[in-house]
Structure 1
């Protein structure tokens, strides 16, 4: 079944947009460093590659996005707690990481509980 249900299509679009926003946020966050290439490689490249995978409908892209979102969330909490000047970027990363986890998990949850609906 290659056809996406409306909920799955919306979750895919939300996942794609949140990954692109996360990559752009990391690029903006580290753009003021003297040599930002290492940070971009570690932080901005993974969500950009996962966004490409979601766009190309790779089956595992959503799973890996949710797994890496746990890392992004943890990093955001650490930075928000320890570096007040960067707290705005960190809180934005926290929000996007939560969106990534829910958008990546929603189709699986829908499939898991689809047969148990009463009505």
Structure 2
């Protein structure tokens, strides 16, 4: 029986933040505040599918989290714009902002510096 090495805490928390950000999108855009002018499937394709693409690199958790960190910049911008413009959705936007900042911060915390 082979045992997989335990992931560092930063990576485990990053995976949790990634999962939470992925779950937040359909809850927000399909359940709580569905789009009025655009089909819901299109909104979900734009918001959720990009977060699922790094699953292709899941064998290397660091690489998957790097891609999610890069993608989370889009979600950070989305969260800021929604927090600024939509008062009824502000709490969801703040959750999105917190999750993206957490993801980016955990990526930075997980970097190991080379000894000089």
Normalized against structure 1, the TM-score is what? 0.76
User: Are 1:115 and 2:115 an aligned pair?
Assistant: yes
What is the match of residue 103 of structure 1? 106
Compute the displacement of 1:20 (Å). 0.6
Superposed CA deviations along residues 24-52 of structure 1, whole A, max 9, x for unmatched, are: 001100114263211211111222333x3
Q: Cα deviations across residues 67-88 of structure 1 (Å, max 9, x unaligned)? A: 1111111110000000111111
Is residue 16–residue 55 contact of structure 1 (8 Å, CA) maintained in 2?
A: no
Question: Residue in 2 aligned with 1:47?
Answer: 51
Give 1:103 shift: 1.5
User: Are the aligned partners of 2:69 and 2:107 in contact in 1 as well (CA < 8 Å)?
Assistant: yes
State whether residues 16 and 54 of structure 1, in contact with CA within 8 Å, keep that contact through their aligned partners in structure 2.
Answer: no
Q: What is the number of residues matched between the two proteins?
A: 108
Determine if contact 1:26/1:44 at 8 Å carries over to the other structure. Answer: yes
Deviation at 1:62, TM superposition (A): 2.1
Cα-Cα RMSD = 2.3
Given that 1:12 and 1:54 are in contact with CA atoms closer than 8 Å, whether structure 2 keeps it comes out as no
Q: For 2:60, what is the secondary structure of its paired residue?
A: coil
Q: In structure 2, what is the equivalent of residue 14 of structure 1?
A: 13
Match of residue 28 from structure 2? 29
Structure 1 regions of 5+ residues with no counterpart? none
Whole-Å Cα distance in 1 between the matches of residues 51 and 107 of structure 2? Answer: 13
Distance 1:24 1:40, change over 3 A: same
Q: Answer yes or no: is the 8 Å Cα contact 1:73–1:93 preserved in 2.
A: yes
Give, in whole Å, the separation in 2 of the partners of 1:101 and 1:49: 18
Question: For 2:48, what is the secondary structure of its paired residue?
Answer: helix
